[in-house]
Amino acid sequence: MFYYHLKTDSFTSLLTLYEFGSETPQFSEFIFGKNPLIEHLSAEQHPFGKSTLLLEKETSAWCFLDEGEMKVYSAVHNMELSVARDMFSANGKHDITGFLIQLYWLGLIKLAKRSFVVPETFAKGAVTQPGPLFILHLTDSCNLSCSYCFADSKPSSKRKMTWETAKKAIDLILAFPSEHGTIEFSGGEPLLEFDLLRKIINYTNEKSAAPGKHYRFNLQTNGTLVTKELAEYAKTCHLDLSLSLDGDAIINNYTRRFSSGKGTYNAILNAMEILGNGVQNFGVICVISRKNAHKIRYLLEHFRSLGLVRVKLNPICKLGRAIITWDDLSLEAEEFLKVHTEYINYIIEDPQPIIDDNTYFMLKNMGQKMHSYRCMRSQCGAGITFFSIDPLGNVFPCDRFRDKQSLKSGNVETLESLGDVVLKNASVKKLAGRFTEEIEICSECSYKRFCEAGCTYETFYNSGKIKAPHPWCPYYKGIYHALFKAVSMDNTLVHKLKVGAEVFQKSWFDNLE
């Protein structure tokens, strides 16, 4: 059985109706009475090789049981504990109390009519870690002309953020009711406006110190304008960087080019050398397209040869220039699922795999009920705790959809607060009201608490519907199935990805003397 320790989930208390005072699996007569009734919840049973996945889809409670454990689990429904103990302790060997208490604390059975994890907690979506995200687009312009750019940026794009607009944006961010948050710089290429970026960070730090607010800073850059000066500054002000690299020189230079047509590979390698892998905190985004999807293992080996330990393998987003190059470059859901499944096989086989951030967060969602990753789900906070501000100060609910004029939700010049953006824009309000439970197919789905019906905005702009499953539903279903299969085969998988939740495999019978 996989016991996953609820005590490692620091927000466990949020998930309970009862204050039991202890998260450690143990039996307490005070809590359960002397001889509690054991009852099943409505857990689904999915066979995975020799194990069975017991999955309570309403709460995302799960564990794997072996054959012997399944026999016990199946037999004890509607039985009093003393009867169940007698039944399985005939030879005086096995006391099943510990096993049942583990199932209880996992949220997989009821004891004395009580359930540790209650479905109502998730009725309005995943329990999430708060922390607002503000994206500032310093410019629309970019020194590259990448073939799938969702912002459609190019050197001829002219819009730049002025200091006056930036200052107004930061004042609104500082007034947002949260003691901390993340400010991300994006574009176009934000390093074309390095002086403005520096001014914004210095101003934010100066103004946030007195009220005791804390902000993290991220920079999304194509990596071609990284200098020693930036590296030094980034270290002193804790600015995290994400660079873009799609593969080796040939692969990368097909999709990521300067406007002259020259490839960016050498410039990005130069940036990585300046930043010094492991010294400066930077990550790499690799967009998976028809040009690199068939070489995923080679790609990962190449990244490793460059000293990288993490990468984010992203599909192409069908916006901006990607609409024009879609047929040439993009993958269908089933094709991307094949690539991602190949990556999962790689992490099982490789003793020190390169970490893909998307896989990391998916496994984290499986291991912890508190979801810490904003994206890839309904109720992601777009327009509520996530704001994208364009160079002219226009506010949008999400970075990806800033070309959708109907989502424009005021301007920093006139907005009194970012807090009521959703209420002011009818379209954003409507989209923010999409809940997994209200989508018929999703509400029945085994993996609904992990997938959460996918991104609302992508669903709407691809299908014209709000209350519909995400267009990449087959991918989500397939990838969660593949992840469960992988975990059933190799319990070190989760450790390899350094997920917060502690998961380990141990047969209940093996553990008894």
Report the C-alpha gap between 221 and 182 in whole angstroms. Answer: 16
We find the least distance from the C-beta atom of residue 387 to ligand SF4, in angstroms, to be 11
Residue span 436-475 as binding mask against ligand SF4, x where in contact by CB under 6 A, dash where not: x----xx--x-xx--x-xxxxxx----------xx--x--
Q: Is 398 an interacting residue with respect to ligand SF4 (CB under 6 A)?
A: yes
Sign (positive/negative) of CA torsion 401, 404, 410, 412?
positive
Would you say 168 or 448 has its CB closer to ligand SF4? 448
φ/ψ of residue 212, rounded to 5: 70, 30
What minimum distance in Å lies between the beta carbon of 442 and ligand SF4? 3
Pick the binder of ligand SF4 from 386, 435, 460, 508 (CB under 6 A): 386
Choose the binding region for ligand SF4 from 100-108, 188-196, 375-383, 420-428 (rule: CB under 6 A): 375-383
Q: Which of 37, 348, 375, 392 binds ligand SF4 (CB under 6 A)?
A: 375
CA distance 369 to 501: 10
Q: How far is the CB of 394 from ligand SF4 (least distance, A)?
A: 16
What does DSSP say about strands 386-389 and 395-396: parallel, antiparallel, or unpaired? antiparallel
Told to check if 126 binds ligand SF4 by CB under 6 A, we report no
Residue 166 found at the interface with ligand SF4 (CB under 6 A): no
Q: Residue 380 interacts with ligand SF4 (CB under 6 A)? A: yes
- Cβ nearer to ligand SF4, comparing 263 with 397: 397
Choices 137-145, 186-194, 296-304, 369-377 (CB under 6 A): range interacting with ligand SF4: 369-377
Which residues touch 225 (CB under 8 Å, ≥6 apart)?
Answer: 143, 189, 191, 192, 194
CB closer to ligand SF4 out of 102 and 425? 425
Q: How far apart are CA 267 and CA 251, in angstroms?
A: 15
Tell me how many residues contact ligand SF4 (CB under 6 A).
27
Residue 456 to residue 357: CA distance in whole angstroms:
21
Q: Which of 88, 122, 476, 484 binds ligand SF4 (CB under 6 A)?
A: 476
218 DSSP β-pair partners:
184, 240
Q: Is 39 exposed, middle or buried (0-12, 13-18, 19+ CB in 10 A)?
A: middle
Structure tokens at 173: 């961010």
User: What one-letter code names the amino acid at 326?
Assistant: W
User: Could you tell me which residues are beta bridge partners of residue 280?
Assistant: 277
- The distance of closest approach from Cβ of residue 486 to ligand SF4 in the complex, given in angstroms and rounded to an integer, is 17
Structure-token pair, residue 192? 């074309």
Q: Show the tokens assigned to 24.
A: 């450690």
Is residue 239 within 8 A of residue 218, CB to CB? The reply is: yes
Cβ proximity to ligand SF4: between 213 and 318 the closer is 318
Residue 482 lies near ligand SF4 (rule: CB under 6 A): no
**Residue 92 region by backbone torsions, left for phi larger than 0, else alpha for psi between -120 and 50, else beta:** left
Q: Is 134 in the site for ligand SF4 (CB under 6 A)?
A: no
Contact between 382 and ligand SF4 by CB under 6 A: the answer reads yes
Is 302 an interacting residue with respect to ligand SF4 (CB under 6 A)?
no
Measured from the CB atom, the residue of 473 and 486 that comes closer to ligand SF4 is 473
- Report residue 123 CA to chain centroid gap: 19
For residue 361, what is the enclosing H or E element?
A: helix 357-367
Residue 501 is a binding residue for ligand SF4 (CB under 6 A) = no
Phi first, then psi: what are they for 491, rounded to 5°?
-75, -5
Question: Is the Cβ–Cβ distance between 363 and 496 less than 8 Å?
Answer: no
Q: How far is the CB of 116 from ligand SF4 (least distance, A)?
A: 24
Binding residue for ligand SF4 (CB under 6 A) from 207, 295, 297, 477?
A: 477
Q: Does 217 bind ligand SF4 (CB under 6 A)?
A: no
Contacts to ligand SF4 by CB under 6 A: 374-377, 380, 382, 386, 398, 400, 436, 441-442, 445, 447-448, 451, 453-458, 469-470, 473, 476-477
